[in-house]
Amino acid sequence: MTMNSTGRPTSFSSSDSSAATTTVSGSKGLLQAEGLIFEIGSTGKTGVDLAKPKGTKNRLGGVTRGKPTGLPGLTEPEAVRHYVRLSQKNYAIDLGLFPLGSCTMKHNPRLNEKVARLPGFADVHPMQPQSTVQGALELINELADWLMKLTNMPAVAMTPKAGAHGELAGMLAIRAALIARGEGEKRKRVLVPISAHGTNPATAAQCGFIIDEINAAADGRVDLEDLKAKLVESSDIAGIMLTNPNTCGLFERDIKEIADLIHKAGGYFYCDGANFNAIVGRVRPGDLGIDAMHINLHKTFSTPHGGGGPGSGPTVLSEALAPFTPVPFILRTSEGLRLVEHHSEAPDSFGRMCAFHGQMGMFTRALAYILSHGADGLRQVAEDAVLNANYVLARLKPVMSPAFEGYCMHEALFSDGFLKDTGIETIDIAKGLIDEGYHPMTMYFPLVVHGAMLIEPTETESKAELDRFCDALASIARRAVQKDPSLKTAPHLAPARRLDETRAARSPRLRWTPEPPTLKAAE
Ligand SMILES: *Cc1c(COP(=O)(O)O)cnc(C)c1O
């Protein structure tokens, strides 16, 4: 077995791969095997040692539990080890470069965490009287102000709790605007490029719109001719949902013309702003004719994500859509800041996105990030993110197949062209990366590129780390071209090999059922 400079095994012959992957304990090196908590626990154990209460009377009446709850009992060290072992099976941005394209997995500065934990921000309750949370309202308002300035948009809905939720807010605002114009029933068609993130058509459909796909041109951008053809009959156009920079990692050069065409057709322009990291401080979406755009605070503004959240997806709105902003929003009055919470005060508002005021912890982290970078720092974020992606593109170009000619924005996109006739596929490359200690890049997305591999390094990786990653990926690409069969069965060093992810997603087993006692006895 060959080792790299950090002592990680890097290649396997078919004979040593089996020796390296089979152990009596099931553990792999220092990565411990771990069963389900139900399998290791037993009802006879507990992590606490409470004295039997003396001199108290049972006041439960007839409802004392008669049978055990069936929950596993663990000692404290068993409980601690169980969760630490599980946590070590997770890949995390704190462990290494996380190249998932479109996800902007960047470092979460610890300063933000420190600020978010200040009691004045962390310990407020959403139902406290507003006079006692003026600082928290000030923070939300200041973040809102930055987001409007950075995008040159006059309004922002702060409450959406993720990117997709922000899309929903934007599309509901568009629907409300169409209804207010008396065209709610007539204008039902939303144009969505075929390269769009899946949440775009899903959101439009959820709002009752009909999706009409626009083709991609050979250069990976929107096919302007196809768009124009879709607008010849335009009386039913509600709008367009477009990502910029798009999911091919390219800037939509014709974006102003697209905005004009959509507006002329009587529709609104929703921009998916998930890729704002590539242009923050350089381009203001409001200058491009955009009517609504969500911003993923958990991407561009470095608040943590992964593992299901919490995210935060404030949505900026144009003047045309501003009246329909969801409640609550903040007003500055002579007595301080005040939340507008009810329809009576905001009659055109389309309603409410969530119970309270949005993700306070994420707002705090995002504002800390913005203030610690300043305007010049934010601009450099975008510049370095684009530089890093182009470095990856340039380093891997000789051994992989760039999907498009020329420079990219914040992510480098490859097709599986270099794998032709090797029998090796995109998924094998991704699994090979796991053995090298990296989370795979985004695979098979966007759909417009065959066997796509989308890599977004972000600005927070050093050149040394980018080189280490590119060395690893380039070596896998070379092994693939040489038809190395061990790639077909990678990963060899992970706790689990190839899982049936589709079945896990479609029919998840969420309930543990004890082995039937008869079966156990028979063994
Ligand atoms: C991440 C992302 C979304 C969805 O954001 P969530 O916060 O995951 O809901 C939408 N569009 C694009 C292009 C994205 O990258």
Alpha-carbon 365 to chain mean position: 17
Q: Is 296 in the pocket of ligand 1 (CB under 6 A)?
A: yes
Residue 290 contacts by C-beta under 8 Å, 6 or more apart in sequence? 153, 259, 269, 270, 271, 318
Give per-residue burial for 98-130: e unless 16+ CB within 10 Å, then b.
Answer: bbbbbbbbbebbeebeebbeeeebeeeeeeeee
Q: What are phi and psi of 148, to 5 degrees?
A: -70, -40
- Apex CA 426: angle with CA 424 and CA 430, to 5°? 105
Distance 270 CA to ligand 1 centre (A): 14
What pLDDT, on the 0 to 100 scale, is given for residue 496? 82
Higher pLDDT, 16 or 506: 506
- Apex CA 157: angle with CA 156 and CA 163, to 5°? 105
Helices in 4-68 by DSSP H: which ranges?
A: 14-21, 37-40
State how far the Cα of 351 lies from the Cα of 364, in Å rounded to an integer. 25
What pLDDT, on the 0 to 100 scale, is given for residue 58? 84
Q: Is 244 in the pocket of ligand 1 (CB under 6 A)?
A: no
Tokens of 300: 């561009």
Distance 53 CA to ligand 1 centre (A): 53
What pLDDT, on the 0 to 100 scale, is given for residue 3? 47
State how far the Cα of 397 lies from the Cα of 376, in Å rounded to an integer. 31
Q: What are phi and psi of 426, to 5 degrees?
A: -50, -45
What pLDDT, on the 0 to 100 scale, is given for residue 108? 94
| Residues 399/418, Cβ–Cβ less than 8 Å | yes
Beta-strand (E) ranges in 352-432? 401-402, 412-415
Tokens of 124: 């407020």
396 to 259, 400, 421, 443, 464: CA distances (angstroms): 35, 6, 20, 16, 15
Q: What is the pTM of this model?
A: 0.89
Domains with residue ranges and CATH for the chain: 111-370 (3.40.640.10), 376-494 (3.90.1150.10)
Q: How large is the angle between the packed helices 199-206 and 163-180, nearest 10 degrees?
A: 40
| Residues 194/219, Cβ–Cβ less than 8 Å | no
State how far the Cα of 197 lies from the Cα of 189, in Å rounded to an integer. 18
pLDDT above 50: residue 290: yes
State how far the Cα of 186 lies from the Cα of 473, in Å rounded to an integer. 51
Ligand 1 atom closest to 164 (CA): 9
What pLDDT, on the 0 to 100 scale, is given for residue 47? 84
Distance 89 CA to ligand 1 centre (A): 24
Give the model's confidence band at 206: pLDDT under 50 very low, under 70 low, under 90 confident, else very high: very high
Residue 510 contacts by C-beta under 8 Å, 6 or more apart in sequence? none
Mutate to test the pocket of ligand 1, among 98, 100, 102 (most ligand atoms within 8 A of CB): 102
Q: Is 102 in the pocket of ligand 1 (CB under 6 A)?
A: yes
Give the model's confidence band at 18: pLDDT under 50 very low, under 70 low, under 90 confident, else very high: low
| Residues 364/121, Cβ–Cβ less than 8 Å | yes
Residue 520's CB is within 10 A of a number of other CB atoms, namely 9
The mean pLDDT value for 414-426 works out to 98
Q: Is 192 in the pocket of ligand 1 (CB under 6 A)?
A: no
Distance 164 CA to ligand 1 centre (A): 6
pLDDT above 80: residue 519: no
Q: Out of 29-33, 101-105, 301-305, 352-356, which region has the weakest mean confidence (pLDDT)?
A: 29-33
Give the percent of the chain with pLDDT over 90. Answer: 79
What residues are paired with 412 via a beta bridge? Answer: 455
Give per-residue burial for 277-290: e unless 16+ CB within 10 Å, then b.
Answer: bbbbbebbbbebbb
What pLDDT, on the 0 to 100 scale, is given for residue 255? 97
Ligand 1 atom closest to 199 (CA): 10
What pLDDT, on the 0 to 100 scale, is given for residue 80? 94
pLDDT above 60: residue 15: no
Residue 374 contacts by C-beta under 8 Å, 6 or more apart in sequence? none
Average pLDDT of the chain to the nearest whole number:
92
Mutate to test the pocket of ligand 1, among 250, 270, 296 (most ligand atoms within 8 A of CB): 296
Give the model's confidence band at 517: pLDDT under 50 very low, under 70 low, under 90 confident, else very high: low
Q: Is 313 in the pocket of ligand 1 (CB under 6 A)?
A: yes
| H/E element, 464 | helix 463-481
Q: Counting beta carbons within 10 angstroms of the beta carbon of residue 462, is it exposed (0 to 12), middle (13 to 18) or buried (19 or more)?
A: exposed
The mean pLDDT value for 45-60 works out to 85
What pLDDT, on the 0 to 100 scale, is given for residue 7? 45
Distance 429 CA to ligand 1 centre (A): 24
pLDDT above 90: residue 70: no
pLDDT above 90: residue 309: no
Which of 370, 347, 335, 285 has the alpha carbon at shortest distance from 111? 370
| Residues 12/20, Cβ–Cβ less than 8 Å | yes
Give the model's confidence band at 29: pLDDT under 50 very low, under 70 low, under 90 confident, else very high: confident
Q: Is 197 in the pocket of ligand 1 (CB under 6 A)?
A: yes
The mean pLDDT value for 246-275 works out to 96
Using DSSP, state whether 455 is helix, strand or coil: strand
Tokens of 140: 């939300």
Give the model's confidence band at 1: pLDDT under 50 very low, under 70 low, under 90 confident, else very high: very low
Distance 133 CA to ligand 1 centre (A): 31
- Which residue's alpha carbon is at the smallest distance from atom 14 of ligand 1? 274
State how far the Cα of 371 lies from the Cα of 136, in Å rounded to an integer. 16
Q: Is 456 in the pocket of ligand 1 (CB under 6 A)?
A: no
| Residues 165/133, Cβ–Cβ less than 8 Å | no
The mean pLDDT value for 379-403 works out to 98
Q: Is 272 in the pocket of ligand 1 (CB under 6 A)?
A: yes
Residue 285 DSSP class: G
397 to 66, 282, 415, 444, 466: CA distances (angstroms): 68, 27, 11, 18, 14
State how far the Cα of 224 lies from the Cα of 228, in Å rounded to an integer. 6
Q: Is 274 in the pocket of ligand 1 (CB under 6 A)?
A: yes
What pLDDT, on the 0 to 100 scale, is given for residue 249? 93
State how far the Cα of 139 lies from the Cα of 132, in Å rounded to an integer. 14
Q: Is 246 in the pocket of ligand 1 (CB under 6 A)?
A: no
Distance 325 CA to ligand 1 centre (A): 21
User: What DSSP string runs through 171-229?
Assistant: HHHHHHHHHHTT-TTT--EEEEETTS-THHHHHHHHTTPEEEEEPBPTTSSB-HHHHHH
